[in-house]
A and B are shown apart, each in its own frame.
Chain A
Amino acid sequence: MRRFLVWGLVLPFVLYNLTFVIFPLFTVLYQSLFPIDAEYNVSSSATLANFKVAFSAATMEVMWRSARYALTTTAACMLLGYPLAYYIAVYGGRLRNQLLILVVLPFWTSYLIRTFAWTTLLQKEGVVNHLLLSLHLIRQPLQMLNTEFSVILGLTYGFLPFATLPIYVSLENQDRSLVEAAHDLGATPFQAFWKVVFPLSLPGVISASLITFVPAMGDFVSAEILGSPETTMIGNLIQQQFLALFNWPMGSALSLVLMLLMVTSMALYVAFAGDRDA
């Protein structure tokens, strides 16, 4: 009876994921093995030719650039998001929900628009340059748009609300009397935070960094709107293969290499963070 209930609850979820996540990923794998030639003829036998291109030095350079941007973005999101989540969870008091909503609110506007909004601020005649010039902090307007800086800024801005939520949830669920106990046992506020609060919030930090790193690594919107050809990310390459060059098998191979690199680095990260937790 109980087993029946459990599987009844779980089955729709499992079936949906099998049909619309796992199976489609296998169709991508299958497709990547059959390259097309210049006349769009599909190869009749399976080869790894597409993966040779995907692992070539030129593609790998783009891959590492994407990883670097994503890592920087994740670090920035943690640095900005953790203190914010901590402030809301511990000192938010009655306004806690409202403060949290203020964090999530920007997330509700289109990611595209929020990315595009930065062009108004960052352009040569933009708001930031105006401000810096009038404060005499700079003599010449800075080139901020179409640089690594603007792409990473766009990514950080895009994913910060999302990174803050899991950290907040893990902090909010904590039993505050543990901190009282630490204080009673003679811990300084910093010790109480570092030895009690922070380790307990690690699951939140881990899911927050996953939730940031994954979309940042595969993103193409920020690089498309705020970047330049020198800031091309792997997402831009995949999009080109699918929608501009119509080489779906090549795009599939690139996607799989991206996933392989990501899953590997994520597994290492979770294993490492899990060890520290235990």
Chain B
Amino acid sequence: MWPSRVIEMREEKPGPIWLRLYALTVYLFLYTPILVLILFSFNKSRRNSSWGGFTTSWYATLWHNESLMRALANSLKVACLATLISTVIGTMAALALSRYQFRGRETVGSLAYLPMMVPEIVMGIALLTFFIKMGIQLSIVSVILAHVAFSVGYVTVTVRTRLAGLAGNLEEAAADLGATPMETFWLVTFPRILPGIMSGALLAFTLSFDDFVITFFTAGIGATTLPLKIYSMLKFGVTPEVNAISTIMLAFTVCLLALWSRLESDPKSLGR
């Protein structure tokens, strides 16, 4: 009882002052551009260099922008489906890789890193070439297929990293106590790796929702996602609307992440 209490108290120390200042500076670096962006979404002036007074009119115009709303719907559709598929496939692979010894394990393991080794633009042009040569029409389906291709490796690596930190003793104990492999998985393994799966899924969703480059090459007509729409808006220099839509995206994200942090801080799913 005592030693663990002592360690806990040590972990609550605030840390050296220089490290706290450094961390604060990095947070400032991360947030200043975003805060400025949010600020300028309320700017009356169309120019993004001077402040012309407060307005919310740019937000009102967004709701009447039909193509923008369609792009948002496309983005959500793509991200949800791509996350679902890549999380299932990736978690399965991560389980096999971290729990079992089998022939070809190293090769499969390095396969997970392949999409990370390949630059996005190369993945984009490769998938574009592939879809055209195979006669697959560029559509929302081709975008989803492409998004799974680049996110499944990230899920595998994330879940596997989490699994590697957990000893297999509990599974062995469960098996010794007569649990079937299925029972062992759902009652012992799964609750412990759930945070890993969640962060893997979160990563996949992030990558998909944010992806511009691969979508740029694999989306056909009618499959315009939000980043693609924003890119075309930027070309025309429509800054305040772009700032407004990104502010909404940020708010949406905060809600999702708040949900996620709840799941994560549940002591049962912490896996430790």
User: CB of B80 within 8 A of chain A?
Assistant: no
User: CB of B170 within 8 A of chain A?
Assistant: no
Q: A31-B129, A93-B12, A218-B122 are in contact. Are A20 and B230 (CB under 8 A)?
A: no
Q: For chain B, residues 154 to 209, give those with C-beta under 8 angstroms from any C-beta of chain A.
A: 156-158, 161-162, 164-165, 181, 202-203, 206, 209
Task: Report yes or no: A109 in contact with B246, Cβ–Cβ below 8 A.
Answer: yes
Chosen A-B contacts, 10 in total, with CB atoms closer than 8 Å, are A13-B111, A14-B108, A104-B257, A112-B227, A120-B48, A120-B49, A219-B121, A220-B121, A255-B125, A262-B119
Provide the main secondary structure of the chain A interface. helix
Task: Report yes or no: B92 in contact with A13, Cβ–Cβ below 8 A.
Answer: yes
User: CB of B220 within 8 A of chain A?
Assistant: no
Which residues of A are found within 8 Å of B146, using beta-carbon distances? 20
Shortest distance in angstroms between B121's beta carbon and chain A's nearest beta carbon? 5
Residue in B50, B114, B130, B242 whose beta carbon sits within 8 Å of that of A23 in the complex: B130
Q: For chain B, residues 131 to 150, give those with C-beta under 8 angstroms from any C-beta of chain A.
A: 133, 145-146, 148-149
Task: Report yes or no: A97 in contact with B30, Cβ–Cβ below 8 A.
Answer: no
User: CB of A215 within 8 A of chain B?
Assistant: yes
User: CB of A202 within 8 A of chain B?
Assistant: no
Q: A21-B114, A173-B165 are in contact. Are A255 and B249 (CB under 8 A)?
A: no
Shortest distance in angstroms between A109's beta carbon and chain B's nearest beta carbon? 5
Task: Report yes or no: A214 in contact with B96, Cβ–Cβ below 8 A.
Answer: no
Known A-B contacts: A120-B37, A125-B49, A238-B122. Give 14 more (CB < 8 A).
A13-B92, A21-B114, A22-B114, A24-B129, A27-B130, A83-B19, A91-B19, A108-B209, A109-B250, A117-B33, A117-B37, A173-B161, A180-B7, A238-B125
Which residues of B are found within 8 Å of A80, using beta-carbon distances? 26, 29
Provide the main secondary structure of the chain B interface. helix
Task: Report yes or no: B11 in contact with A110, Cβ–Cβ below 8 A.
Answer: no
**Top 3 A-B residue pairs of the complex, sorted by shortest distance between their CB atoms:** A218-B119, A91-B15, A24-B130
Interface size on B, residues (CB 8 A): 93
Task: Report yes or no: A235 in contact with B119, Cβ–Cβ below 8 A.
Answer: yes
User: CB of B69 within 8 A of chain A?
Assistant: no
Task: Report yes or no: A126 in contact with B121, Cβ–Cβ below 8 A.
Answer: no
What is the bound-complex CA distance between A207 and B202, given in angstroms? Answer: 18
User: CB of B32 within 8 A of chain A?
Assistant: yes
User: CB of B95 within 8 A of chain A?
Assistant: yes
Question: Closest residue of chain B to A9, judged by CB?
Answer: B96
* Interface residues on chain A, size class: 35 or more
Task: Report yes or no: B26 in contact with A27, Cβ–Cβ below 8 A.
Answer: no
Q: For chain B, residues 63 to 122, give those with C-beta under 8 angstroms from any C-beta of chain A.
A: 88-90, 92-93, 95-97, 100, 102, 108, 111-122
Shortest distance in angstroms between B215's beta carbon and chain A's nearest beta carbon? 11
Which residues of A are found within 8 Å of B40, using beta-carbon distances? 120
Which residues of A are found within 8 Å of B11, using beta-carbon distances? 90-91, 93, 176
Task: Report yes or no: B117 in contact with A262, Cβ–Cβ below 8 A.
Answer: yes
What is the bound-complex CA distance between A102 and B28, given in angstroms? Answer: 11
Question: Closest residue of chain A to B265, judged by CB?
Answer: A97
Q: A109-B34, A109-B250 are in contact. Are A12 and B89 (CB under 8 A)?
A: yes
Task: Report yes or no: B15 in contact with A108, Cβ–Cβ below 8 A.
Answer: no
User: CB of B261 within 8 A of chain A?
Assistant: yes
User: CB of B54 within 8 A of chain A?
Assistant: no
Task: Report yes or no: B92 in contact with A20, Cβ–Cβ below 8 A.
Answer: no
Shortest distance in angstroms between B98's beta carbon and chain A's nearest beta carbon? 11
Task: Report yes or no: A214 in contact with B29, Cβ–Cβ below 8 A.
Answer: no
What is the bound-complex CA distance between A112 and B212, given in angstroms? Answer: 8
Q: A87-B22, A91-B13, A91-B15 are in contact. Are A120 and B246 (CB under 8 A)?
A: no
Which residues of A are found within 8 Å of B23, using beta-carbon distances? 83-84, 87-88
Shortest distance in angstroms between B53's beta carbon and chain A's nearest beta carbon? 17
